[in-house]
Amino acid sequence: MPIFWLFLIVLAIAAVGFVIGRQRALQSAGGDSRGLHSLPGYYGWNVALKAMVPAFGLMVVWLLVQPIYVSSTVSGMIPESAIAEGSSMGLVMAEVRRAAEGLDSAVAAGAITEDFARNARADVADVTQRLKDAGQIVTSQITQPVLRAAQEYRILNNTGNLVMSGLVIAIALAGALYALRETNAVFRARNVVEQGVRALLIAAASIAVLTTLGIVLSLVFNTIEFFRLYPASEFFFGLNWAPSFSGRGGASDLGILPLLWGTLYISIVALLVAVPIGLFAAIYLSEYASRRLRAVAKPAIEVLAGIPTIVYGLFALLTVGPLLMEVFGKEGLGWMQSGTSVMTAGLVMGIMLIPFVSSLSDDIINAVPQAMRDGSYGLGATQSETIRQVVLPAALPGIVGAILLAASRAIGETMIVVLGAGAAARLDLNPFEAMTTVTAKIVSQLTGDADFASPEALVAFALGMTLFVITLGLNIFALYIVRKYREQYE
């Protein structure tokens, strides 16, 4: 039975339970809802929840456990000898799964009968031929152990699904019946629903946290795998980035320093653009602009934050790069070799970051109490003196937080770098040279055709992990500063 149908059946049981539970509660109070502890709807929800939650819980657990159980049972059936030279258990199991799917589809298409698919003594060549005739893609020759395993795999899965369907429906019914039995006028259905809502919210929050954990773990294991293949000291202190793709390992230089340097250099240029412009814009908007101008200008600046970074990348490649070439290129000062450079990417990234800095700073400057400004004006200070000497120092921790958040955004940026800064990993001080960043290299390492188990591909995870640690550090630092600032005024 498809999972979808099972899902619908449980929902239907819950829906029916809702209606009956509601009625039953009303009956127990003699048809007068004022005699009930809770509103009638709560009794309905109580029944529906008790039908759904355990049933769906079992379903999820079963769906997680069954593939693991089936795989381990079936792989136990395959003898060591069946695994060909240069192959592995994983590959053979993939073949088993493909064969099982082939059998499934062939049965569904009517090319073979269920009995035939299950026939353990069937001739391997015959089955292969029939599957091919039925339009199923199978490896050239299914071996006897693989066919046996595939048949066993199908049987186990089918029985598993059947048992699961039965159990889930039974539990849903049992839950509904149990809830209906406890439904009477004094039962506190409202409190049960309250707990249900709470559990739902906790579940949503934990999924968000667990996902973060999962992302970190997936990075960690691959990073550890990388460091087993490639010495960590050379990764962290190597001055050269030259992965070899043809050699499949061995001859690669995978030093992170040129990439980190490129990342930091481009980020610094970006911040040098974004921080003054964003901060001054924020000061103007919060201190000088009239309310009407502010209502128009603030959203207009925030539009910049809504532009996809790939569009910024195109802007860098097609407009800013050629523009810089005219001034600093061969025709002009001669410092620039091509349109892609640290400057190009940094300038465009700076523009992208303006709304981050301005919007956050604007909020923070507005949060400085009016009493501070009054105090300063009352002493005969002008507006700019007040801003420079009272408002900005008071808002400084928050502004630093905003800048750090913008910085971690800059460090993680990819598309603008790919299009604007070039792909050459280089340790250089000239901002008109092409350089590249950690993120851009992660993309190029994973989109190549390198073997996934080679250090050239795995280095992407180590790079990602390094980047993650850096931006996490920045974010925590930013949050710490912002929080410290909040305590001062609230």
Site stretch for another protein (CB under 8 A), options 126-134, 228-236, 329-337, 364-372: 364-372
65 binds another protein per the rule CB under 8 A: no
369 binds another protein per the rule CB under 8 A: yes
Cα–Cα distance for residue pair 441/447, rounded to 1 Å: 10
Total Cβ atoms within 10 A of residue 422:
24
Alpha carbon of 399 to those of 62, 282, 303, 366, 485: distances in Å? 50, 10, 21, 12, 10
388 binds another protein per the rule CB under 8 A: no
Task: Tell me which residues in 271-310 interact with another protein (CB under 8 A).
Answer: 290-291
* Beta bridge partner(s), residue 242: 253
Figure out which of the listed residues 24, 154, 298, 373 binds another protein, where binding follows CB under 8 A. 373
389 binds another protein per the rule CB under 8 A: yes
Task: Tell me which residues in 205-234 interact with another protein (CB under 8 A).
Answer: none
Q: What's the one-letter identity of residue 231?
A: P
Q: What's the one-letter identity of residue 450?
A: A
b (16+ CB within 10 A) / e for 144-168: ebbbbbbbbbbbbbeebbeebbeeb
381 binds another protein per the rule CB under 8 A: yes
31 binds another protein per the rule CB under 8 A: no
* Beta bridge partner(s), residue 254: 241
393 binds another protein per the rule CB under 8 A: yes
In the complex, least distance from residue 360 CB atom to another protein, rounded to whole angstroms: 19
Site string for another protein, 320-359 (x = CB under 8 A): ----------------------------------------
For the record, the structure tokens of 37 come out as: 């502890």
Figure out which of the listed residues 394, 410, 434, 482 binds another protein, where binding follows CB under 8 A. 394
Place of tokens 């064969």: 99
Figure out which of the listed residues 214, 334, 375, 448 binds another protein, where binding follows CB under 8 A. 375
384 binds another protein per the rule CB under 8 A: no
Closest Cα partner for 464 from 432, 441, 489? 441
**Number of residues binding to another protein, judged by CB under 8 A:** 21
476 burial type by CB count under 10 A (0-12 exposed, 13-18 middle, 19+ buried): exposed
Query: Considering beta carbons, is residue 373 or 426 the nearer one to another protein?
Result: 373
Query: Considering beta carbons, is residue 44 or 398 the nearer one to another protein?
Result: 398
Is the separation of the CB atoms in 282 and 368 below 8 Å?
A: no
144 binds another protein per the rule CB under 8 A: no
Cα–Cα distance for residue pair 470/478, rounded to 1 Å: 12
490 binds another protein per the rule CB under 8 A: no
Figure out which of the listed residues 60, 201, 215, 379 binds another protein, where binding follows CB under 8 A. 379
Site stretch for another protein (CB under 8 A), options 125-133, 321-329, 383-391, 422-430: 383-391
Name the 3-class secondary structure at 2: coil
372 binds another protein per the rule CB under 8 A: yes
Place of tokens 């350089």: 435
Is the separation of the CB atoms in 115 and 68 below 8 Å?
A: no
In the complex, least distance from residue 374 CB atom to another protein, rounded to whole angstroms: 6
Cα–Cα distance for residue pair 5/410, rounded to 1 Å: 47
Site stretch for another protein (CB under 8 A), options 1-9, 183-191, 368-376, 436-444: 368-376
Cα–Cα distance for residue pair 405/396, rounded to 1 Å: 14
Cα–Cα distance for residue pair 53/55, rounded to 1 Å: 6
181 binds another protein per the rule CB under 8 A: no
Site string for another protein, 413-442 (x = CB under 8 A): ------------------------------
Cα–Cα distance for residue pair 82/141, rounded to 1 Å: 13
Residues of this chain that bind another protein (CB under 8 A):
290-291, 369, 371-382, 385, 389-390, 393-394, 488
